[in-house]
A = this chain, B = another copy of it.
Amino acid sequence: MPVQQRCTVVEMTPINPTTYWMVLEVGNMVEELGLRAGQFLHVACGEANLLRRPISVALAYPDEPEDTAALIFEVKGEGTRWLARRQVGDTVDVLGPLGNGFAVENGGRYLLVGGGIGTPPLLGYAEAFRQNAVAVLGFRSADRVILEERYREACKEVYLCTDDGSAGRHGFVDAQVRDILEKDKNFTAILACGPRPMLKSVAAVAAEFGVPCQVSMEERMACGVGACLGCAIQIADGTMKHVCKDGPVFDAGEVDWDV
């Protein structure tokens, strides 16, 4: 059950020129309401922006005096620009917990595949599964890389790719995923988050190797809670599902990738 809550900013760190690491005090959202990585918070971004902005939870911890959640976001437009100007001690108005997060089981072994600003929501899974997690992280170029160290500290193996080859392997993450699965497809599931074309390629590789794959999808939202039917995504059977309520994480097989 989601609640509306004013959350105090307790940490605010730029992690590259356009990306921020923001930690919020979220009341008892983690302990009582089960907030976890992969879900999202719907964040009001100032009076001048009518709609809230959905931002994924990267890490969520029970804590005293309040539970905390880390959001990692990139400045794209007016809303995220407003958010980036918040300082420690400011409060932001948040709806949450929203959405489902990835479905994982204790003792599972996971291949985490993140692209760009899609890497943060997987961080919580990296830190939960540690030696049972392998991460493939893709970025446009070396200067866009975020969270590499955090992932390296947590995971068994981390593969870095960049589109232009300026860091790690030259190329897209799906090629790296293919190489990994060719050697070892013994994963409980692939958990993927990133731009839609990346998810589509990763889903295709996963299907080819018969590895279950969950993808975290994005769509433009209004309400964030399932009331407005704004955030539809097309499902393979011709129906619609909603990112905010049925997702953001979907089974890759469920999604209609051809639209």
Contacts and interface: CB of A to CB of B under 8 A. Distances in A.
Q: How many A residues are at the interface, by size bracket? A: under 10
A51 to B, nearest CB: 14
Contacts of A46: 47
A48 interface: yes
A83 to B, nearest CB: 14
Nearest to A82: B47
Copy number of this protein in the oligomer? Answer: 2
Interface string A41-59: 0000011100000000000
Interface string A213-240: 0000000000000000000000000000
Interface string A40-81: 000000111000000000000000000000000000000000
Nearest to A47: B48
Contacts of A47: 46-48
A47 B82 CA distance: 12
A47 to B, nearest CB: 4
A53 to B, nearest CB: 16
A86 to B, nearest CB: 15
A48 to B, nearest CB: 4
A121 to B, nearest CB: 30
A48 B48 CA distance: 5
Nearest to A46: B47
A48 B46 CA distance: 9
Interface in A73-124: none
Interface of A: 46-48
Closest CB pairs A-B (n = 4)? A47-B48, A48-B48, A47-B47, A46-B47
